[in-house]
Structure 1
Amino acid sequence: MKRAAAFLALLLCLYWTRAQGESGGLTENDVTQTEVQSEILGVKATNDQTNITPDISAELEELRDMVIQHSVELRKLEQENTAIQARLTASEIKNAVLEARITASENLVDELETENILLEVRVSSNENEVEELQRENAERPKVAFSVGLTDAGQVGPFSADITLKFSKIFTNIGEAYNPSTGVFTAPVRGTYYFRFNARESHDTKLVGIKLYHNDKQITLSFDRVVSHGYVTVSNAFVLQLEKGDVIYLDLWENCSVYDDRYNHTTFSGFLLFAM
């Protein structure tokens, strides 16, 4: 502003001088006046320049202070930005870790669901197998018997073979054994197990037992008592029978057998499995 004022004053002086020249030239007084004005303007210009220098220094100092302040603020902003970036990086790492954990958890859930499905399938399969076994067991006939001969003591000898009638019933599941006839009748086609045991305790006596399948003799088990002792014979067989086949024991002719409350002479059998 001060420079602009000085410049305007100089222009005014020039305009006035030109006007004086056009009107007939300058007089000595005019020249003197002009010189005085020039000196005045020179003094003003000098004063203006003198006044401008402190103002520029002040403005430079102010600008420097502003630059320094801005630099400080910029540095603070950069530090804050660095801290924010570090936080963002840490957050990104945490997010990546959380995503990895979530993915692992989801995979674990999927595995558990798969295992659960497999377990359900196995349980269902096992339940079906159990039901099938229960149904087969319910449908399968239950056949088992175990009987003793008598409490009366000695039976025999006889002049011909006789079928032994075991009268003491210990077990007769399925009622396949008939104590009145001494005959076991197979209720179903299948594989059966049979066992017998016979004893004699009189001197010089023979004990002989025959096992029959229908009319076919399977075995003859016999022995003789000597020296005031006793003998025991026994045997066992697994036989495949058709429905209606019969199994029974015959006492061999001229032989005897002994039984009492201690059940020395017995006959047993049961169904292994149907066919």
Structure 2
Amino acid sequence: MSAASYVPLDLGVPLTCGNWDCNCAFNDKRSCCCVAKDLDRLVDRTYASLQELSEGIHELTVDIEEFTGERKVAFTAQWSKSGCFGPFTSNVPIPYSDISLNQGHGYNKALGAFTAPSDGLYSFSFTAYSDVGAEGARMYHQVRLMKNGEVVAAVWEDNREDSRDSATQTVLLQLQHGCQVYVELLSGRQLCSDNQKLNTFSGYLVYPGL
């Protein structure tokens, strides 16, 4: 056992501590309590390093949450009113006002549009359903998915053979923060529904932009 850890009182051997700073409280105890300066410095450095590491992990977590938004971005909305929507003299966004999911709050039912909360790759789907009722009535609609006013995808019908029909489109879009995506009905056309919530618009963030 080293002198730094234990020294019998009755040997009269001088205490050799080297780099150790020993403050011996002998009294009736046959021992020496030693605290190393190097060990103190090591403890201080270790504590400082752990504190820096903890702060770094926290900053990284904040960055990741900001980058991904901790953003679970997804929405689904339906047009739930019965009757016909249109025709109009101009193109009009379809009012999907019945919202069943809106994580990230990207969809605005007042505008009928989704605004990207961050850069990234997004997936969008819409279904256009129409039921004109009477057999032989003209089914006449064109529904278009729009990105910042530009047509991305469309479905349409113009016939008298079907009294009701539906079509779905799904696309992937690379969006920048603030880009708007919505679905519109082309002017002069109409969609007719019977309140089954079959006209839908949905989307979600696949992964954030790099």
Give the TM-score band, short-chain normalised: 0.5 to 0.7
Larger Rg: 1
> Partners in 2 of 1:264 and 1:248 — Cα distance?
17
In structure 2, relative to structure 1, the CA distance for the partners of 1:178 and 1:139 (3 Å cut) is: closer
* The one of 176, 186, 189 aligned to 2:116: 186
How far off its partner does 1:253 sit?
1.2
CA contact (8 A) 2:77 2:200 kept: yes
CA contact (8 A) 1:193 1:239 kept: yes
Structure 2 residue runs without a partner (length 5+): 1-56
Q: Which residue of 1 aligns with 2:32?
A: none
* The one of 155, 167, 186 aligned to 1:221: 155
How far off its partner does 1:233 sit?
2.0
> Partners in 2 of 1:162 and 1:272 — Cα distance?
28
Please report the TM-score for the alignment, with normalisation by the length of structure 1.
0.49
How far off its partner does 1:139 sit?
5.0
Q: Which residue of 2 aligns with 1:59?
A: none
CA contact (8 A) 2:92 2:185 kept: yes
* The one of 196, 199, 206 aligned to 2:126: 196
How far off its partner does 1:151 sit?
2.3
Q: Which residue of 1 aligns with 2:101?
A: 171
* The one of 225, 229, 236 aligned to 2:170: 236
Q: Which residue of 1 aligns with 2:180?
A: 246
| Corresponding residue SS for 1:166 | coil
Q: Which residue of 1 aligns with 2:195?
A: 261
Q: Partner letter of residue 148 of structure 1?
A: Q
Alignment of 1:1-275 (within 5 A): 135=61, 136=64, 140-202=70-132, 203-227=137-161, 229-275=163-209
How far off its partner does 1:261 sit?
3.4
Higher strand content, 1 or 2 = 2
How far off its partner does 1:220 sit?
2.4
Post-superposition Cα deviations, 1:41-88, rounded to whole Å, max 9, x if no partner, equal: xxxxxxxxxxxxxxxxxxxxxxxxxxxxxxxxxxxxxxxxxxxxxxxx
CA contact (8 A) 2:130 2:166 kept: yes
CA contact (8 A) 1:193 1:271 kept: yes
CA contact (8 A) 2:119 2:175 kept: yes
| Corresponding residue SS for 1:181 | coil
Higher RCO (CA-CA < 8 Å; seq separation 6+): 2
In structure 2, relative to structure 1, the CA distance for the partners of 1:145 and 1:253 (3 Å cut) is: same
RMSD over aligned CA atoms reads: 2.2
How far off its partner does 1:218 sit?
1.0
Structure 1 residue runs without a partner (length 5+): 1-130
| Corresponding residue SS for 2:122 | strand
CA contact (8 A) 2:129 2:192 kept: yes
| Corresponding residue SS for 1:236 | strand
Q: Partner letter of residue 157 of structure 1?
A: P
CA contact (8 A) 1:199 1:265 kept: yes
| Corresponding residue SS for 1:227 | coil
CA contact (8 A) 2:77 2:201 kept: yes
> Partners in 1 of 2:161 and 2:153 — Cα distance?
27
CA contact (8 A) 1:258 1:265 kept: no
CA contact (8 A) 1:144 1:269 kept: yes
> Partners in 2 of 1:230 and 1:267 — Cα distance?
19
Higher helix content, 1 or 2 = 1
> Partners in 2 of 1:193 and 1:227 — Cα distance?
33
How far off its partner does 1:201 sit?
1.6
